[in-house]
Amino acid sequence: MIEETNGHAATTTTNGHAEPVTFTRKDFQSDQEVRWCPGCGDYSVLTAVQLLLPELGVAPENLVFVSGIGCSSRFPYYMNTYGLHSIHGRAPAIATGIAVARPDLDVWVITGDGDGLSIGGNHLIHALRRNVDLTIVLFNNQIYGLTKGQYSPTSEVGKVTKSTPFGSIDHPFNPVSLAIGSEATFVARTHDMDRKHMQETFRRAQAHHGSSFVEVYQNCNVFNDGAFEAVTARDARADMLIDLHHGQPIRFGKERERGVIMNNDGETEIVEVAAVGEDRILVHDETRHDPSLAFCLSRLADSPSQPTPVGVFRAVERPVYGDTMNRQIADAQEREGEGNLEALLNSGATWEV
């Protein structure tokens, strides 16, 4: 029998002693053939997760991956864990039920910019504001891939697609801004071209107790190839990716010659460090309870063609939805005793509280 002790998997032997179990990537791989388009960024995200999970010490039978509809939503098929390929946009609602009913399970939501921010937008923001104990990973490729190349809620203005032949006139969502505005207690961004960065970001998100939201810049090489190349290409990263580290000045560039300040208008601004001095550079504080600074950082780039922050924007503590709900139930049972469902169903149309 496999059980968990302090979050680490262990097996109970016949003599009653718990011995540690070592997992490998193979333990988390299903027998299903992975089917995404050759070169798709989804492969990279899947590999990062499967390589990370053995380090977390959570047994496969204690993991649940819930997805909606879209290319990213094939994810549960490829995981040797519990999983559910659910309804378009409804993965956060279904995962909420699992997380609240079974707080012992490690519940992940895999979604995309179309699935999570269009038909599923309402479910997403309420899961975040309630602080449900979920790890939500949103693959953002700025396009509808499964339905063959229509514009999505994150596509840029002017995007020419099959559904916008004259260019999109919709202003796009910024997923990180949306999550921070929804009061998510953990918000981060990573990209599919850096496995180490993805794994560290996912590790932090999984360890957080409450709602964790991670946006992944993910390339769709068939319908939107190179959408993030300006910031994620290997030779561009030093000058274009602003890697956030808690407690450290927000600096970037090959020589760390550029930085971020708060200007006189209360906006974040990119400057040359030599021009303003080290003392003016913002020191990143992901634990700041007021989300305004994290939100300002999320607005630093209008599009992924400008210097763009990645890493953890916000990591704060707040009461977790399932914990609070189960405490209410326990308090009510202690005060009133076990309820009588049959009596309730036959009690008539009115009742007294």
- For the chain, list the domains and their CATH numbers: 23-238 (3.40.50.970)
pLDDT tens by residue, 68-117:
999 999 999 999 999 999 999 999 999 999 999 999 999 999 999 999 99
d(CA 291, CA 12): 45
Q: How many CB atoms lie within 10 A of CB 129?
A: 15
Buried b (16+ CB within 10 A) or exposed e, 298-309: bebbebbeebbb
- Among the listed residues 83, 97, 111, 9, the one whose alpha carbon sits nearest the alpha carbon of residue 53: 9
The answer to whether 311 touches 201, Cβ cutoff 8 Å, is yes
d(CA 178, CA 192): 21
The answer to whether 241 touches 308, Cβ cutoff 8 Å, is yes
3-state secondary structure of 65: strand
d(CA 40, CA 220): 6
- Averaged pLDDT score across all residues of the chain: 93
The answer to whether 28 touches 202, Cβ cutoff 8 Å, is no
Q: How many CB atoms lie within 10 A of CB 326?
A: 14
| Alpha-carbon Rg for the chain in angstroms | 22
Q: How far is CA 78 from the centre of its chain?
A: 19
- Among the listed residues 256, 232, 255, the one whose alpha carbon sits nearest the alpha carbon of residue 308: 232
Q: Is 262 exposed, middle or buried (0-12, 13-18, 19+ CB in 10 A)?
A: middle
Which neighbouring-strand residues pair with 262?
268
pLDDT tens by residue, 197-217:
999 999 999 999 999 999 999
What confidence score (pLDDT) does residue 240 get? 98
The answer to whether 14 touches 161, Cβ cutoff 8 Å, is no
d(CA 243, CA 323): 33
Which neighbouring-strand residues pair with 272?
258
What confidence score (pLDDT) does residue 15 get? 54
Low pLDDT (below 50) residues in the chain: 1, 5-8, 12-14
Residue 37 vs residues 47, 128, 137, 218, 233: alpha-carbon distances, Å:
15, 31, 20, 13, 20
